[in-house]
Amino acid sequence: MESTSVLEPAPPAASPNPVLAVTPLRDQKIAVDVQNATKVFVTPPSLLSRLRGNRTPRKRVVAVDNISLQVRRGEIFGILGPNGTGKSTLIRLMSTLLIPDSGSVTVFGYDIEKDEATVKRLINRVSVEASFFKKLSPMENLLYGARLYSVDAAEARVSIRRILKRLGIEDESVMSPMEDMSRGMQQKVAIARAFLSAPIVLLLDEPTTGLDPHSKKEVQAFVREIRDVHDATVLLTTHDMQEADDLCDRIAIVDQGGIVALDTGAALKERVKGEKYPNPTLEDVFLELTGKSFVDSDVEEKP
Amino acid sequence: MTMAAAATEVRASYAFVERNINLVKRYWGWELVWMLYTIANSIAVVMIARGVNGSVSGQGLSDAQIDELVLILCVGALVWHYLAVVFETVSDMISWERWEGTIEYTFMAPVHRGTHMVGTALFSLVYGLVHTAVVLVVIVLMFDLNMDQANYLSATLVLMVGSISLIGIGIMGAVLPLLYPERGMQMTHVIQAALVLISGVYIAAEDMPEPLATISVISPARYIIEGIREALIYNASPMDLWKTMVGLLAAGLVLIPVGVWVFSLGERYAKRTGKLKRSG
């Protein structure tokens, strides 16, 4: 009978995660450490303006503004905020896709800039858009991913079928082009791809955005399972209040590139509980702490 | 780098070869159209040689001279096609991934950038060779070309050794789509056009106008085309072409590390400015 877990129990003598067998962690307790990180995106002046001596940027967006946070090993840590508040930029910093202008980001003690290769072995990321070669099948896409992360191809083929089946993707879809799949299915394949590399830190950038309620629940259950069975730390950005409340051990509420509060969901709600909010939700927390409603703050996502 | 790490990188480089082979299989219809287009283009060029006898030359050329002209143009068209495929595959690796939306995923993977490029280059060599061989067979059959003097070993060696330097230039070219998401790909076509212009694809480099002939000295493509013409038309042996091959190898050994270095500078800049992302 098929196991309910996608993860086979690790042999007793082995490390629970194969990545740990080759990459010793410098810091055993803090998975991700962000210290005073700032990222500003600048649109330079046009060539004509520069020739006229004008050096003033056309646009300057402070995406991440002096943020500090620590994610503990084994946590599901939520970064909650409307679009355009720097959540994705923060995740892309942790993913080594961006270099901070100032401050530092480390993953289990490894700096994302100085120890980039090691950090890359420890992490994987699922972005809001499932990014695949659309004509290739899930098997072909995932096999490509597996090879990039040095996973044995023969083992990967078996694991891919098992993980996809666990996520509700039928055998006949495994070899069909990704473009024939629904967005929800594609997102599940994206999660399977990230999981295949056995990341110690899994970065999920709005993984359930646009999914139907059933798919959303399945993905959320999978995220819990990855943490519980696999010794993974999960960092999750979302603008879904309920998801953050249900899934995350701690939540950082971000607005305009900065953290306005960081605590457990219950503690955050406790902060604003009172006459005005007898049974507060995270939305009430956001409103109280930022002075604006979540919907009003939902602005276009910056780079 | 330890042996184990090197073995890991070699295995990872196969990821790019396998992925591209899978893409060719999935886009087989497009590949067929591309092949027909290439054959039509090559035939058009070779037909110039057939037509020149009647329309340009007043006194007419001997059959041997026409055959030689046909072969000169044919080799130019085919070699250029091969080099263009290699160059484009390498330089388009960024544009393609950006278009598919996978660029962030690939750049986040724990793979050395050199491995990424070597893998892509290996595929481009195989793909270019297969493509060019098919076109060559069609042209030889269609024009009843006399290939008795052809030294295929020499031609293949020159092509292989020469490809290394083209890969180096392609890697440098790949930085353009990385830094200029909207127009970078077109910029790589400008590099290609410049190479066509100065490399003696359709006329011998020494017959080009003086400024172009002078610049052509720095183009590896010029020596590749000249070497292959010598091998396929005038039966030059590998020994006859050793100087050309050593020169091309030296150029390749310089251009690949320089290409990877230039690309790594571009990648770092892209990470600072936020250009390393799926959309422009």
Q: What is the pLDDT of residues B122-153, one digit of tens each?
A: 899 999 999 899 998 898 888 888 788 899 99
- Give the separation between CA A148 and CA A152, rounded to whole angstroms: 10
Closest Cβ opposite residue A303 in set B27, B103, B274 = B274
Output the six-digit token pair for B207.
């017959």
Per the CB < 8 A criterion, the answer to whether A22 and A117 are in contact is no
Q: Which two tokens stand for residue B143?
A: 């024009």
- For A114-165, the pLDDT digits (tens) are 999 999 999 999 988 888 999 999 999 999 999 999 898 999 999 999 999 9
Least confident of A294-298, B195-199, B204-208: A294-298
Q: Are the Cβ atoms of A129 and B15 closer than 8 angstroms?
A: no
- Residue A221 CA to residue A191 CA, distance in Å, equals 12
Least CB–CB distance from B102: residue in A120, A133, A177? A133
Name which of A97, A129, A149 is nearest B276 (Cβ-Cβ): A97
Q: How far is CA A3 from the centre of its chain?
A: 26
The strands making up A201-205's β-sheet, listed across from edge to edge, are A123-126, A201-205, A233-238, A76-80, A250-255, A258-263
**B114: distance to nearest CA of chain A, Å?**
13
- pLDDT of res. B56: 57
Beta carbons of A132 and B26 less than 8 Å apart? no
**Which pLDDT band, with edges at 50, 70 and 90, does B53 fall under?**
low
Q: Over pLDDT 90: what percentage of chain A?
A: 53
Please tell me the predicted confidence (pLDDT) of residue B260.
92
Q: Which residues of A touch B103 (CB under 8 A)?
A: 131
Q: For A131, which of B11, B15, B104 is closest by C-beta distance?
A: B104
Tell me whether residues A149 and B109 touch, CB distance under 8 A: yes
Between chains, do B18 and A147 touch, taking CB under 8 Å as contact? yes
Amino acid B54: pLDDT: 61
Closest-CA distance, B271 to chain A, in angstroms, reads: 4
Strand order in the sheet with A30-43: A59-72, A30-43, A102-107, A110-111
pLDDT at site A16: 56
Nearest CA in chain A to B26: A135
* Identity of the highest mean pLDDT range in A22-26, A282-286, A298-302: A282-286
Model confidence over B61-110: pLDDT tens digits?
777 888 888 888 888 888 888 888 888 888 788 888 988 889 999 999 99
Q: How far apart are CA A155 and CA A244, in angstroms?
A: 34
Nearest chain A Cα distance for residue B89, angstroms: 16
Instruction: Give A6's pLDDT tier (boundaries 50, 70, 90).
Output: very low
Task: Taking residues B183-189, report their average pLDDT.
Answer: 86
- Written as one string, the DSSP assignment of B130-176 is HHHHHHHHHHHHHHT---TT--HHHHHHHHHHHHHHHHHHHHHHHHH
pTM of the complete model beyond 0.80: yes
Rounded to 10°, the helix B113-143/B93-100 angle is 110
Nearest neighbour of B110 by CB, restricted to A120, A134, A143: A120
Determine how many CB atoms are found less than 10 A away from the CB of residue B57.
Answer: 11
Q: Is A252 helix (H, G, I), strand (E, B) or coil?
A: strand
Calculate how close chain A gets to B164, using CA atoms only, in Å. 24
Query: Cβ separation of A123 and B12 shorter than 8 Å?
Result: no
